[in-house]
Amino acid sequence: MLLTAKPAAPENVIKLMKTKLNRKSLFGHSGHLLALLIVTLFALSFPVASPVHAQSGGPGRDAGVVTSIDDNTLEIRDGSHTTTYVETEQTQWLNKRGQRIDAGDVVGKMVEVRFRWITGGSEALSVQLTSGGGNSRPAHIEDAGDPSSLRHERGDQVLRGTIGGGEAVFRLRLEDGNVNGTYSQGGKSYRIEGTYTPGHMSLDEYTGERLTAHIKLTLDDLETTWTGTMHNIYPDKNHYPVSLSKSQ
């Protein structure tokens, strides 16, 4: 007698299908979790980049002689070591009493710099004179009178005028035949050294430690205006007319 298999009961078929579907869902869900875990571990293996303007610390303090202020860069020298700082519109320029002064007043003088570290360098928060004078009041102007009186004059001279058509301000100290100071033009400041004789000044312009120009000046007959010529040495050999008058 031929025996034939009894067809599976409908409810058994449904149970079998559910079991297979559950296994597929379980395997599919596990695969998805595994892929997500791999991606997460891969992403965590790379360091997170710091923001460009992130600060790494500070503030700190430094001291030295200001050699130049140019292109938003402050340079100070301590012995044979030179350090540069980024100067901004927020940088404070202070005299020994903590009063505001012009940036050009600190060139060639001993200062204390408060700074903070930034990405790629250090930013100057304040620059305060520790020696070399400077104050928040306009510099005292001596009446030259007879040009020969310059030989014995001790004091500050503020001269305003033009160099090659551009406005310039000189702040000079005349002492025993020597001239020291700074001049500013176009947002930049330069150090000045030189000598004077009655009615004449011979000045050297320095950008940092580099000699960049000679300036020859003569006082007019009215003893109010210095005129002459700037002779560039670096980076070109151009000549520019100079006319400066005492600030009143």
pTM for this structure?
0.41
User: What's 229's domain CATH number?
Assistant: 2.40.128.120
pLDDT per position in the chain (248 positions), as tens?
555 555 555 555 455 555 554 555 544 555 666 666 666 666 566 555 444 444 456 678 888 888 888 778 898 888 778 889 999 989 998 988 888 888 878 888 888 999 998 888 889 999 998 865 433 333 333 333 344 444 334 568 899 999 988 999 999 998 888 999 999 998 899 999 999 888 889 999 999 888 999 999 998 877 788 999 999 988 888 889 999 998 76
Instruction: Say how many domains are in the chain.
Output: 2
59: preceding bond cis by omega (within 30 degrees): yes
Indicate the residue among 129, 156, 174 that finishes a domain: 129
Structure tokens at 210: 């580099």
Give a yes or no: residue 15 inside a domain.
no
Same structural domain, 237 and 190: yes
Indicate the residue among 66, 99, 129 that finishes a domain: 129
